[in-house]
A and B are shown apart, each in its own frame.
Chain A
Amino acid sequence: MAFLKRSPWMIHYDGSSCNGCDIEVLACLTPVYDVERFGIVNTGNPKHADIFLLTGAVNEQNREVVRNIYDQMPEPKVVVAVGICATSGGIFRECYNILGGADKVLPVDVYVPGCAARPESIIDGVVKALAVLEEKRRALPPRARRGRRAEASAQGGNA
């Protein structure tokens, strides 16, 4: 198993959410849910991140910001759309400044429903995203594949 899967780092960006999902994302990291004990770290730097958690719908002003964060993340990377707004625009889909869900701008791998999404479902979404991350890692050309060395040594080979 790849080391990446064991300690993924995530970055969170608030698209145009009402804050409900954002504080639930943070609640996942703090005591009670505490995913940090599994090595999941909320980083502020896109270049450190493996998983992109996007809350809220995308609008005209933040589409470039969202795209920019995504582009800066190294491969392999996964996008998790947290909450119904990031999924489809939710209750705000008819507002004049809403473009729609996160998939209008980014390739979304996992959708987490809910308004607001509960910490349990966010954690579940991230766990599902880890499987996608592993799949993407395997699909990368061998030279770019991170964890190649660890994998080889785990199999007893000489890397």
Chain B
Amino acid sequence: MNRDTVRTVTAIEPLEALAVAQHRRLGGWRLVQMHGTRVDGATEVNYAYALDGALEILRARVPDGTAIPSITGIYFAAFHYENELQDLFGLKVTDLAVDYKGHFYKLKQTTPYRPDLGVEGIGSVEAPRVPMAEDAEPAATPRDAHGRPVPARIAEGITGNRTIVPFGPQHPVLPEPIHLDLVLEDEKVVEAIPSIGFIHRGLEKLVEKRDFVDYVYVAERICGICSFMHGMGYCLAVENTMGIEVPKRADYLRTVLAEMARIHNHTMWLGLVADAFGFESLFMHSWRVREIILDVFEEITGGRVIFSICRIGGLRRDVDERQIDLLMKALDRIEKELEPLVSAFTQEYSVVHRMTGVGVLSKAEAYELGALGPMLRASGWALDTRLLGYAAYDDLRFAPVVETAGDCMARTKVRIRETAQSIGLIRQAVAKLPPGEIAAPVKGTPNGEFMARVEQPRGEAIYYVRGNGTRFLERFRVRTPTFANVPALVKTLQGCQLADVPMLVLTIDPCISCTER
């Protein structure tokens, strides 16, 4: 069962959010996420903070037509949550550190959670605040090639040898579209402004049209790389809402599959980062190793990347002796074949030269910017959501993989060591695999709410569900690790060389389809 039991929900006034944020920050709490929910005539803004195993949700009810103060002055990492609130809920947020003014996502339908606002969007909502001189927008807002406003401080800064270089959305090194405006001083990056939204689908809102049992398949398709964990995270949230006890065997098999997904992800990432620094044969070899684990996935689930094996209450298919045997053999092979790759990544002169000391994120910065997963652990934090003990992690022995240098090399080492750790975890779980059922029956409908936390290959992911007793959930929210790692990426890009940008973007292990959902 989940050890993540200390969870409180407290109602606050919208204007209290600032004071609370200040207090939490001093107490060392981490801003986990922010999200909105529509409740009759108002938007509920939820601030989630975490400290060790404790999770606290502060809930402010914001009546339509009022604005909320931004907490970006205290937690800079809140800027994309708040921009999202502006775009999707038409909620005006004042004093935003980086304000996209409703252009964070470019949507077919503006403010989808507030269809009543129409095309006017956030413009029609007045902030209950005395307007100040710096609020007034200049007559002609500078805009970039996509029509999005360029913050004035950047447009003004373009003097002398400063230039803006657009990076993406289509770029040879990017498997997925993200756009960065890089402000350069000669070859040095002074500032990087991300714009996302190229693959925003809006699948969170699809939950209102799909039965909660069928929605697992949509949740899985948040991302095709950690698809299993997305399905599992959603299932954990719904199961906890409904009080379903998952059979032990299903818990163990979920753990095995989740660790397989981690091996898949990390070997794939090793290839992608090698490609980013121009080492093509290393890319090819990493992907060759990755195929070994995909064969096992195919054997067990029938799919290579999308598995559809998780369901609410457990799993859809059991694993037999022969499959376990195949898995064990595959693990031995991966271990053997990874060895020369690891020495290439950690000892080969050109690789070491490219990655050591590049893109350093200090310990304090990593925590303050809300970095997660290998990004956070490479900067010296032993934070791993698996320690909360969901699925079968409570019965397995492991310690978070930590490196202290905080550079690209440290992030690579964390992922390499985590691959070995995952192999060990699978062996432990298989050795203890209990017999029995693989799924519990699902009776009734979800009523209530739950926020589940899962450690994905890229870091902690949050799944929030709220049911109202019908077959259709009221709200589903997923906060993926890449979304939380973007502020840290922006930070590491500052001061780097233009030639290092592709590699730095890759070292956060960006998953844009997770980020934008």
Contact = CB atoms under 8 A, between A and B. Distances in A.
Could you say which of B175, B197, B224, B284 has the most chain A C-beta atoms within 10 Å of its C-beta? B224
Contacts of B205: 95-96
Contact of B202 (A18, A65, A97): A97
Interface string B143-184: 000100000000000000000000001111101110000000
B304 A14 contact: no
Contacts of B224: 17-23, 116
Q: How large is the interface on B (under 10, 10 to 19, 20 to 34, 35 or more residues)?
A: 35 or more
A62 interface: yes
Q: How large is the interface on A (under 10, 10 to 19, 20 to 34, 35 or more residues)?
A: 35 or more
B410 interface: no
A96 to B, nearest CB: 4
A96 B108 contact: yes
A46 B169 CA distance: 13
B176 A14 contact: yes
A60 B201 contact: no
B513 A116 contact: no
Given A16-B201, A96-B107, A23 B171 contact: no
Given A17-B224, A61-B197, A98-B202, A91 B218 contact: yes
Given A19-B223, A19-B224, A59 B201 contact: yes
Given A62-B198, A98-B201, A18 B175 contact: no
A97 B175 contact: no
A115 interface: yes
A61 B516 CA distance: 12
A44 B222 CA distance: 25
B200 interface: yes
A56 interface: yes
A30 B284 contact: yes
Contact of B203 (A20, A92, A99): A92
Contact of B108 (A23, A64, A99): A99
Nearest to B275: A26
A27 B106 CA distance: 31
Interface string B87-107: 000000000000000000111
Contacts of A62: 169, 177, 198-199
Interface string B217-228: 110011111010
A114 to B, nearest CB: 9
Contacts of A18: 221-224, 227, 306, 513
A32 B288 CA distance: 7
Interface SS, B side: loop
B170 to A, nearest CB: 6
Interface string A50-86: 0000001101111011000100000000000000000
A43 B171 CA distance: 10
A31 B291 contact: yes
B40 to A, nearest CB: 21
A101 interface: no
B479 to A, nearest CB: 17
A118 interface: yes
Contact of B511 (A19, A43, A45, A64): A19
B291 A32 contact: yes
Nearest to B272: A26
B77 to A, nearest CB: 23
Contacts of B202: 95-98
Contacts of A24: 304-305
B23 interface: no
Contact of B200 (A16, A32, A44, A65): A16
B283 to A, nearest CB: 8
B481 interface: no
Contacts of A113: none
B105 A97 contact: yes
B271 A30 contact: yes
A23 B175 contact: yes
Contacts of A96: 107-109, 112, 202, 205
B353 interface: no
Interface in B187-237: 197-203, 205-206, 209, 217-218, 221-225, 227
Contacts of B268: 23
B295 to A, nearest CB: 9
B81 interface: no
A61 B198 contact: yes
A57 B199 CA distance: 9
B287 interface: yes
Given A13-B177, A91-B218, A91-B221, A20 B199 contact: no
Interface in B422-451: none
Nearest to B222: A18
Contacts of B177: 13-14, 62, 65
B170 A65 contact: yes
A128 to B, nearest CB: 21
A125 interface: no
Across the A-B interface, give the 5 residue pairs with the lowest CB-CB distance, nearest first: A44-B172, A20-B224, A30-B287, A16-B199, A31-B288
Interface of A: 12-24, 26-27, 30-32, 43-46, 56-57, 59-62, 64-65, 69, 91-92, 94-99, 115-116, 118-119
18 contacts: A14-B176, A16-B200, A17-B513, A18-B222, A19-B223, A19-B513, A27-B287, A31-B284, A31-B285, A46-B170, A61-B146, A91-B217, A95-B203, A96-B202, A96-B205, A97-B105, A97-B202, A98-B201
Given A23-B225, A31-B287, A94-B206, 5 more contacts: A12-B175, A30-B288, A32-B288, A60-B106, A62-B198
